[in-house]
Structure 1
Amino acid sequence: MELVAAIQQIYALPTDELDRLVRITERIQLEKNNILIDKDKTAKYIYFLTEGICRIYYPKEQKEAVLDFCFPGDSILSLNSYIHGTPGYEIVDTLENCVLYRIPVSKLQRLYNQSLPIANWGRKLAELETLKIEQRLMQTLFKTAAERYGDLLTKEANVVQRIKLGYIASYLGVTQVTLSRIRAEIK
């Protein structure tokens, strides 16, 4: 998904306001295994992924908990940094070579003060990100690991070929042995 489509799916902007937003974006390419957002650091950008896969995870002691995966068309941001300007708790890294567009939060904040449509776009972005978190929580609370795995396959059919099974198991909150059983049942 290209940048304009990603922006417009959040909240439709008039052409002149869309142009203002697009002008402050920068296209970047990152190789596999790069940190996009780092824990305990204030993220200076929001991102729109157009190619590749990213992983959002929380490191804890000797393990890490995978919170989500990002696929083309997804926005990526640290809500703590975006809303409060404070460091986040998550790490976002690239699992493949990625193409992204990034918008500096500081420039975006200035546009919010100058443009009501862009401010509404930013509000809608925060709302959608909050809903993603709520949806993930509801999945965790009310769906089985097999159902959540099925949802992941629906979102990205060839996910097993592109993401390490250990990451998928962590995302589902199961061991790799349990994931193997789930995969065998779904085939």
Structure 2
Amino acid sequence: MNIDIILDQIFLLPEHSKSVLKNLISEVEFPKDSIIIKAGKVERTIYFIKKGIVRAFVPQENQDLTFWFGKEGDVVLPMKSYVDNHQNYENIQLLEDCVLYQLKIDDLRQLFETDINIANWGRKLAEKELVKTEELFISRQFRTASQRYEELLTKQPEIIQRVQLGYIASYLGITQVSLSRIRSEI
């Protein structure tokens, strides 16, 4: 996905501001299974997914807990580092070979001080991520695993096709056996 489309999905910037922002963004490639954001670290980079799919997970004693998937056009934002310059609690793992756009958080913060349009873009980025988090929380609290699976089928069908069932089961908060049962019922 083109960086212009990704940036515009967040907030429409005047061309000059967008050009300044794009000058700080570079394209990088990582192989499948790379961990690009690590729990317990203050992360310095935001990523935008050009090509590929990723998952966010928290390491647990017996099994990792997957709580988010990102695909083309999505932002990989270490929120605690972005907002408060604190250590993250999540890992981000690439589930496919990925092409990403990267932006250094410190460079973005400097632009916030000099360009109100980019500062507003950064605010909208945080707001949109907050809404996604709220939707995820509400889904986890008030929907059954079957309802969450159906929602995933409806809103992100490519996840079902591109992500292994173990990660999907973890995301839904169920075992693979339960996921198989849900899939056979649908």
**What fraction of aligned residue pairs are identical, expressed as a percent?**
41
* Distance of 2:68 and 2:36 partners within structure 1: 14
What corresponds to 2:170 in structure 1?
170
Q: Deviations over 1:137-164 (max 9, x none)?
A: 0111111111211222223324333211
* Distance of 1:158 and 1:130 partners within structure 2: 23
- For this pair of structures, how many residues does the alignment match? 186
What corresponds to 1:68 in structure 2?
68
* Distance of 1:29 and 1:153 partners within structure 2: 28
* Distance of 2:67 and 2:157 partners within structure 1: 19
* Distance of 2:33 and 2:100 partners within structure 1: 14
The DSSP-based 3-state class of the residue aligned with 1:180 is: helix
TM-score, with length taken from structure 2? 0.97
What corresponds to 2:145 in structure 1?
145
Task: Tell me whether 1:17 sits opposite 2:35 in the alignment.
Answer: no
What corresponds to 2:88 in structure 1?
88
What corresponds to 1:30 in structure 2?
30
What corresponds to 1:99 in structure 2?
99
Cα deviation for residue 98 of structure 1 reads 0.6
* Gap change, CA 1:158 and 1:106, over 3 Å in 2: closer
What corresponds to 1:136 in structure 2?
136
What corresponds to 1:124 in structure 2?
124
Deviates more, 1:110-119 or 1:61-70: 61-70
The DSSP-based 3-state class of the residue aligned with 1:63 is: coil
Q: Cα RMSD (Å) of the superposition? A: 1.0
Structure 2, unaligned runs of 5 or more: none
The runs of at least 4 aligned residues of structure 1 exceeding 3 Å deviation read: none
What amino acid is aligned across from residue 117 of structure 2 in structure 1? P
